[in-house]
Amino acid sequence: MRPRIIRMPAKLAPFLALAFALAWAAAAQTDWLAPDASIINKFENEGSQHSHVMEVMGYLTDVYGPRLTNSPNIREAGEYAVKTLSSWGLANVHEETWGPFGRGWSNELFEASEIAPRHFPLIAYSKAWTPGTNGPITADAIYAKIEKEDDFASYRGRLRGMFVLTAPMRMVQAQFDPPAHRFTDQELADIAPPRAPQPPPDKEARDRQRKQQEFNEKLVKFLTDEGAVAWLEPAPHDGGTVTVMAGGSRDPKDAPVLPRVAVDVEHYGRIFRTLEKNIPVTLRINIANKSYDENLDSFNIVAEIPGTDKADEVVMLGAHFDSWASGTGATDNAAGSVVMMEAMRILKTCNVKMRRTVRLALWTGEEEGLLGSRAYVQQHFADRISGDLKPEHAKLSAYFNVDNGTGKIRGIYLQGNEAVRPIFEKWMEPFKSEGMTTLSARSTGATDHISFDDAGLPGFQFIQDPIEYDTRTHHTNMDVYERIQVADLKQMAVIVASFVYMTANAEQLLPRKLLSKH
């Protein structure tokens, strides 16, 4: 998902304003300590000499991946995580139910080839929550040039039993730039200041997008009603990398759609160009997909290290545990889950004293709209509709999140909370030599810290090197174990452990934002 405009329910604002003002005043009076070098050394030693990151990564990806929310895979992965966290001696390890999310879905078999005029196997994937083909189907492909509703008429009655392509072929460019990248000092300096004022949202562009979406829904229904065997869609990316997300509904009550297949653009192009030459193309496709309707609820995974004299106050760290379904969800977001689990393991194993309770949460349903973390915030901290704050709202110091791939930490987004700047400046100091140099005045969106931020709670996401995130792995078939940078995961786990440790032992809760009224 892309960053969105962030808004808090208007009703929360008056309740929170006073709390924030008090917190702000308290923060200003407190002398925030710098990290103790001997503690950081302990964390670094444990994180580098006894790391569990790649062991856990291997299970979350190779063994249990992909982890689509409510799939059998993610339920097994959840059991593995609970068992692993318990084996490390963490307290209160459990799954917390939330829902309803909707049906589970899994791809059980996928075979797709062109068989005439030439044979070649297709790089292609089922879109999540779409049906299978009920056995192998051999049929012709057709390019149906349907760009608007008026075009439906000319294809009515012509698509039954066929594999349908509707998208024109796009240009595919050479990749002159290397796919992997680390932020330069200049790039980090560029994201440190507040974002330049953005132009107001382009209403026409939004209208166009909405209309395109409405048309797409009508097109899916048309192709389904016409009895097409499957809809073949060229996927974003190229070179064998295929972005695959959802193609059907999670709601068992919704009408079923036809099978939808995301095809590697070069293979789509070969079929498309052959059809353009008026040469018939025959494909053989066999897809078995399964839906699971017996439990529509999902779960978050929680584990704790109990605090000492301030045990009723809490510091949270978390990451989303779910993924899309074509790769194994290695960089999005086994990486974040592994880093947060490892940070907990380091804190526990080093047996350092922490005054506040430290709580890990691994979320599901993030890919479908931050659903697991939103449900958790709703259950524990604040009701989004009524604006009512729960007692726990006053007891959370901060929530730290990792969800930008495998790249090491280069800084942290302050999320509009300037009061934490001098504090994080001190906490970041020991890690400057490892590349963590930047406090960004910006807010970043699109992942689970937003659920906390929206409820007026300090929620932070770290700045990470992009590595191959946008160019290769994000939501693609190539989001796999090999794309993980082990040294980066180790660096992240130690930094997260240190930030959580400092938050847990500070004299005060972290200052909260002074919110402007919406």
Specify the residue, 20 or 413, whose C-beta has the smaller distance to Zn ion: 413
Distance CA 195, CA 197 (A): 6
Cα 234 from Cα 169, distance rounded (Å): 8
Q: Which is nearer to Zn ion, 233 or 332 (CB)?
A: 332
For the bound state, the minimum distance from the C-beta of residue 364 to Zn ion, rounded and expressed in Å, comes to 12
Cβ–Cβ under 8 Å, residues 265 and 170: yes
Q: Output DSSP code: residue 359.
A: E
Least distance from Zn ion to the Cβ atom of residue 332, Å? 4
User: Could you count the other beta carbons within 10 Å of the beta carbon of residue 157?
Assistant: 9
Q: Which residues, including other chains, have CB under 8 Å from residue 261's CB and lie 6 or more apart?
A: 112, 124, 125, 126, 127, 230, 231, 232, 233, 285, 287
The answer to whether residues 446 and 366 touch, using CB atoms and an 8 Å cutoff, is: no
Three-state DSSP at 7 gives coil
261 vs 496 by CB, closer to Zn ion: 496
> Shortest distance, CB of residue 114 to Zn ion, whole angstroms?
34
- Smaller CB separation from Zn ion, 333 or 498: 333
DSSP assignment of 133-190 equals -SS-EEEEEEE----SGGGHHHHTTS-TT-EEE-SPPPP-----S-S-B---HHHHHH
Please report how close the Cβ of residue 433 comes to Zn ion at its closest, in angstroms. 28
Residue 218 CB, nearest approach to Zn ion (Å) = 30
When the beta carbons of 298 and 333 are compared against Zn ion, the nearer one is: 333
Max Cα distance, the chain (Å): 78
Q: Is-cis flag, bond preceding 117, omega within 30? A: yes
Instruction: In angstroms, give the least distance from the CB of 449 to Zn ion.
Output: 12
Minimum distance of Zn ion from residue 325's CB (angstroms)? 14
Q: What is the dihedral of CA 492, 400, 337, 261, to 10 degrees?
A: -110
**Cβ closer to Zn ion: 98 or 469?**
469
What's the rounded Cα separation, in Å, for the pair 288 and 106? 9
Min. distance of Cβ 57 from Zn ion in angstroms?
15
Element at 315 (helix H, strand E): strand 310-320
Nearer to Zn ion among residue 313 and residue 332 (C-beta): 332
**Which residues are near Zn ion by CB under 5 A?**
332-333, 403
Q: At 409, give phi and psi (nearest 5°).
A: -80, 130
Residue closer to Zn ion by CB (options 304, 332) is: 332
Report the DSSP beta bridge partners of residue 96. Answer: 300
